[in-house]
Amino acid sequence: QVQLVESGGGLVQAGGSLRLSCAASGRSIFSINPKGWYRQAAGQQRELVAIITSGGSTDYANSVKGRFTASRDNAKNTLYLQMNSLKPEDTAVYYCSGGIPPVWGPGTQVTVAS
């Protein structure tokens, strides 16, 4: 089975940036569709952040449009989430996911301080 591991989380000040990575193993990322990023804030439900379809198109939650960019590197078998202009409301554990049924990584913590 494919395994996914997120990295790149940390503590940043409001207005700062982070780039999250999701390394896949066991299968080519090209064959895992759809692919996406989710987040879960403390006490909240997990919510969709970004989706990458099999055709390579992307879609984003309204709360992150214009600030976050999802991408993939098939050669490196890795997904990325570039997060700019971070807000305290972005604080959450971020997860990558792929396939049907979906496979989840263990998550990486992002904390945005004022």
What does the alpha-carbon distance between residue 104 and residue 15 come to, in Å, rounded to a whole number? 28
| Cis peptide, bond prior to residue 34, ω within 30 of zero | yes
Judge residue 106's burial from the number of C-beta atoms within 10 Å of its C-beta, 0-12 exposed, 13-18 middle, 19 or more buried: exposed
Q: What single DSSP character describes residue 89?
A: G
Among 42, 18, 32, 12, residue whose Cα is nearest residue 96: 32
Per this entry, what is the length of the chain? 114
Per-residue pLDDT of the chain (114 residues; tens, 9 = 90+): 899 999 999 999 999 999 999 999 999 988 899 999 999 999 999 999 999 988 889 999 999 999 999 999 999 999 999 999 999 999 999 999 999 999 999 999 999 999
